[in-house]
Amino acid sequence: MDLLSYKDLKRKVWDTEKCCGCGACVGVCPTEALYFDEEPRHPKSNDYCKVTRDEVPCAACYYACPRADETCSDGFGTILSIYESKSKIRVSDAQSGGVVSSVLAAAFESNAIDGAIVMGVDKWSQAAQPAFVQTSDAVLGAAGSRYVWAPILKALREAIADRELHKIAIVGTPCVTSAVKRIRQSNVDVLSIYKNAIRVSLGLFCTEIFTDSLLEELRTGHGIKPWEISGFDVKGKFIVKLRDKAALELPLKDLRTSKRTGCEHCVDFTSEDADLSFGSVGASPGHTVVIVRTDVGEGFLKQAQRLGYIELSSGVDLASIAKIGAKKKGIPFETAMSLLKEPGYDAPSSSRKTE
Ligand SMILES: Cc1cc2nc3c(=O)[nH]c(=O)nc-3n(C[C@H](O)[C@H](O)[C@H](O)COP(=O)(O)OP(=O)(O)OC[C@H]3O[C@@H](n4cnc5c(N)ncnc54)[C@H](O)[C@@H]3O)c2cc1C
Ligand code: SF4
Ligand code: SF4
Ligand code: SF4
C-alpha cells in the first residue's frame, strides 16, 4: 500500500527549493488539496489529502512530480533526427518559426488530438495563463513564448479529469516534459486517466523562467507598463518587445533576482523527455530547431509536413545548442558537442551544418 503523500513532496521538493513549478501535483490531486497562491516557490496544501486524513492510498502528486526522485540526466536524451523548420501557415505571434503552433494545428486537423495544453497570456497584465484549447484557431492564438512563470500542468484536471478528453497534447519547458514523462511511466491508479490521455509531449528549449516580479522590475526600474509589452525573447540578452517603441535589451545578469528558484537545480536545456523538442538557438532567423526523439514525435511532425503546415530542412547549428547545453549541465563544450553527435543519437548528416 503506497502511503506516500504531499508531505513527502514537501520534504523532498518544496523544502529543498527544488520545485520547478510545473503544477503537475496540483493538476492531478483528486481532492484538490494542493494549490499555488502568491508565493511562487512551491504549492501549498489545504490538508484535504486522502492519505494524511483517511489513510487511503494515493501518491498521485508524488509520482507526477519531476523533482521527487530525480535521476541524473546523461547526454541530451534520445535524438532520432534534427531539423530546421518553418511554418507554412500564418502564425501571427510566433516566437521563432511558428512550428509548435503549426504542428498542433495540423494535429487538430487530422484528429490526432482533441485538446492541447498551452500557455496563453493576458495581454493587459502580461501574466502567463495555462490554457486548455480545443481548436486550431485557439492554438494559433496562444503562439509565442511566455517568460513569466505559471504552473501549466494544473490545466491537466480541466483537460482530462473534467472534460474527459482522451487525446491531449502538452507543450512545456523541460521540467514540464519531465513531469509528463513521469506520469506516462507511472503505475499509480489515480494517474492512469492522465497517462492514457496524453498523446504527445512537445518540449521547448529553456534556460530559465522568471517570476512575475519581473513585471514589477520592468515597471519600477525601466518605466515599462505591462500593456506596453508585446512579448519577450532571450538572445544573449533579455529582450522586451514593446508595442509602440523599439525593443528594450537588458543584460540577463541584471534580472537574476527575478529568476524562479527551482531553475537553479535544472540541467536540461533541450527537453530531453519530450517526443519533439523545439528551440530557436541553432536555427536561421524566423525558423525553429526541431529535435525528433520518439516515433510518436516523428509521426506528428511528418503529418504536419504532409498536410502543408510546415517545411523541414537541414542546416542546424549544433555548436550553438551544445554551447548552452554544456553551460546548463556544467560539462565542457567538447563533451556536449560529442554527446550531440554520438552515433546512435545521430541526426541525418544532411541536417547538419557543423559536421
Ligand atoms: C521560458 C522559455 C525559455 C526559453 N528559452 C529558450 C532558449 O534559451 N533558447 C532557445 O533556443 N529557445 C528557448 N525557448 C523556446 C523558444 O522561445 C520557442 O518557444 C521555440 O523556438 C518554438 O518557437 P515556435 O515559433 O516554433 O513556437 P510557437 O508557434 O510560437 O509556439 C509556442 C508554444 O509554446 C507555448 N508556450 C509559450 N510559453 C510557454 C511556457 N512558458 N510554458 C509552456 N508552454 C509555453 C505557447 O502557448 C505555444 O503553444 C524558450 C521558451 C520558453 C517558454
Ligand atoms: S490526495 Fe493524493 S495527490 Fe492529493 S495531496 Fe494527497 S497524496 Fe497528493
Ligand atoms: S515540481 Fe511540479 S509536481 Fe513537483 S512539487 Fe513543484 S509544482 Fe508540484
Ligand atoms: S530552467 Fe528548468 S526548471 Fe526553470 S523553467 Fe526552464 S526547464 Fe523549468
pLDDT for 234 equals: 87
Closest CA to 21 of 160, 128, 159: 128
51 in ligand 3 pocket by Cβ < 6 Å? no
pTM: 0.95
List pLDDT tens digits, range 39-49. 778 999 998 99
| Predicted pLDDT of residue 352 | 37
Pocket of ligand 1 (CB under 6 A): 91, 94-101, 118-119, 128, 142-147, 152, 171-173, 204-207, 209, 234, 278-281, 288
Cα separation, 246 vs 299, whole angstroms: 40
Q: Give the C-alpha distances (Å, rounded to integers) separating 350 from 84, 96, 131, 279, 345.
A: 11, 22, 37, 19, 15
Q: Who contacts 27 (Cβ-Cβ below 8 Å, separation ≥6)?
A: 64, 153, 154, 155, 156, 157
Ligand 1 atom closest to the CA of 131, numbered from 1: 47
pLDDT tens across 86-130, in order? 999 999 999 999 999 999 999 999 999 999 999 999 999 999 999
User: What is the domain partition of the chain in residue ranges?
Assistant: 6-64, 81-208+264-351, 213-258
The CATH architecture one would assign to domain 213-258 is Roll (3.10)
Q: What does the mean pLDDT of the chain come to?
A: 91
Ligand 3 neighbour 156 (Cβ under 6 A): no
Q: What's the mean pLDDT in 190-197?
A: 96
Comparing 1-10, 91-100, 148-157, 287-296, which segment has the lowest mean pLDDT?
1-10
Architecture of domain 6-64: 2-Layer Sandwich (3.30)
Sign of CA dihedral 296, 107, 117, 269: positive
What confidence tens digit (pLDDT) does each residue in 306-331 have?
Answer: 999 999 998 899 999 999 999 999 99
**Nearest residue to 12 (alpha-carbon basis) of 54, 65, 58, 60:** 65
Cell numbers standing for residue 239: 529582450
Residue nearest to atom 6 of ligand 3 (CA): 19
